[in-house]
Amino acid sequence: MSASVSPLAPREFAELPQLEGVRLATVAAGIRYKGRTDLLLIAFDPPATVAGVFTRSKCPSAPVDWCRAQLSRGRAAGLVVNSGNANAFTGAKGEAAAKASSEAAAEALGCQPEDIFLASTGVIGEPLDPEPFRRHLGPLAQEARGDRFREAAEAIMTTDTFPKLAHKEVTIGGRTVNVQGIAKGAGMIAPDMATMLAFVFTDAKISPMALQTALSEAVKTSFNAITVDSDTSTSDTLLAFATGTAGAEIVPGSADFQSFMEALTEVCRSLAFQVVKDGEGARKFLEVTVTGAETDVSAKTIALSIANSPLVKTAVAGEDANWGRVVMAVGKAGEPADRDRLAIWFGPHRVAFEGARDPDYSEEAASAYMKGSELAVKVDLGLGTGQATVWTCDLTKEYVAINGDYRS
């Protein structure tokens, strides 16, 4: 864990209201960390509908395998999350630990193990001892309360420097619906999918399939459009739970569904931005927009090539308006690009135009702009109408320090 809070942390944390039927509890179970909470139980009574998006890693963690297997049932009575140990690459022992913790949670909550969803984050390859789960989940189920989203967000942190919370109210059919969530980063952050843990809760009434449709759409411009270090974790998990206590069912294709999906996207994007702003060692938040590409897919490939380039990211850390490196990153993406039609902006400053330095470019003005903490780079390719925006942070010495020293 890092000693100091990211300078990009929000000034205030979102206040998450209680949702009927959702109770939370955390404990310092000593899974790996000392002196802090590391185990979270959330109970859904009655069971919530559930949807999920997971890592595309070919070597997913045991909890990811477990959640994928249960997801088709669309029903969740409990969520168990631990930090400190990812239960990834732990073989048969890992599967057994996942099964054991879901059984312990099921016993505590009086449901089937298949109604329990799991997530683990932390070190890879160390066996996860199921004993703390057996010992703590019963008491946690007893003491769980509705007003503990902040504590929940804190218990799932690893190298995060601040808890991540977001909330949005939306009026659907004349009734207030809450959409809210918690997340943790902070390394291995790259799209496909978001390389972190995030849990979204809503009191909307919505079927598992409709919730899945909305969630899959929401991740496209939130968790799947961020990158910290291009590394994809084995454990990425985004789960959405809907309790259904807020009014009439939301049906795909309706205006209500659209409103719900927008609120869900907004909450996912807020959480995703917080993950980037707490990227390991991050000092600057960078929005990368590519326009004028042949297709949206091509635009996103180029935007990610820029956002993942170590040379672009170190230039941002150094407050250097080094658009030459942006050209390099466009060039290496392998997508259609014509050097002589390229234009590049740092914020409002157009630095390059038609394949060369902008004649009106002021290095002074661009350099002054780079001193800000929230920056935007835009590239227009001049070829078509494809566009995409992704978000990332700078690459600093602190990133290297944090990651060169994680296990010791």
Residue 195 designated active-site: yes
What gap in Å lies between CA 113 and CA 104, rounded to an integer? 8
Number of residues that bind a second copy (CB under 8 A): 73
Strand partners, 24: 42, 145
Among 36, 93, 134, 150, contact with a second copy (rule: CB under 8 A) = 93
Q: Residue 139: name the closest of 108, 98, 104, 97 by CA.
A: 108
Among 12-20, 124-132, 138-146, 205-213, the segment contacting a second copy (CB under 8 A): 124-132
What gap in Å lies between CA 153 and CA 81, rounded to an integer? 10
Binding residues for substrate: 158, 184, 195, 280, 403, 408
Q: Which is nearer to a second copy, 251 or 356 (CB)?
A: 356
**Contact (CB, 8 A) for 246 and 175:** yes
Q: Which is nearer to a second copy, 12 or 405 (CB)?
A: 405
Please, what is the minimum distance in Å from the beta carbon of residue 401 to a second copy? 7
Q: Which is nearer to a second copy, 188 or 211 (CB)?
A: 188
Among 51, 333, 379, 390, contact with a second copy (rule: CB under 8 A) = 333
195, 265, 289, 392: the active-site residue = 195
What gap in Å lies between CA 281 and CA 403, rounded to an integer? 10
Quote the tokens at residue 136: 């703590």
Q: Where are the beta strands (DSSP E) in 173-264?
A: 175-184, 197-204, 237-246
Can residue 7 be called a binding residue for a second copy (CB under 8 A)?
A: no
Can residue 60 be called a binding residue for a second copy (CB under 8 A)?
A: yes
Binding residues: 158, 184, 195, 280, 403, 408
Can residue 234 be called a binding residue for a second copy (CB under 8 A)?
A: yes
Can residue 94 be called a binding residue for a second copy (CB under 8 A)?
A: yes
Among 36-44, 55-63, 72-80, 291-299, the segment contacting a second copy (CB under 8 A): 55-63
DSSP for 287-352 reads EEEEEEESSHHHHHHHHHHHHH-HHHHHHHHTT---HHHHHHHHHHT-S---GGG-EEEETTEEEE
- Going 236 to 389 to 278 to 18, the CA torsion angle's sign is negative
Among 2-10, 40-48, 337-345, 372-380, the segment contacting a second copy (CB under 8 A): 337-345
Among 105-113, 172-180, 244-252, 351-359, the segment contacting a second copy (CB under 8 A): 351-359
Can residue 314 be called a binding residue for a second copy (CB under 8 A)?
A: yes
What gap in Å lies between CA 333 and CA 82, rounded to an integer? 37
Residues 257-296 that bind a second copy (CB under 8 A): none
Under DSSP, the state recorded for 365 is H
Residues marked as catalytic: 195
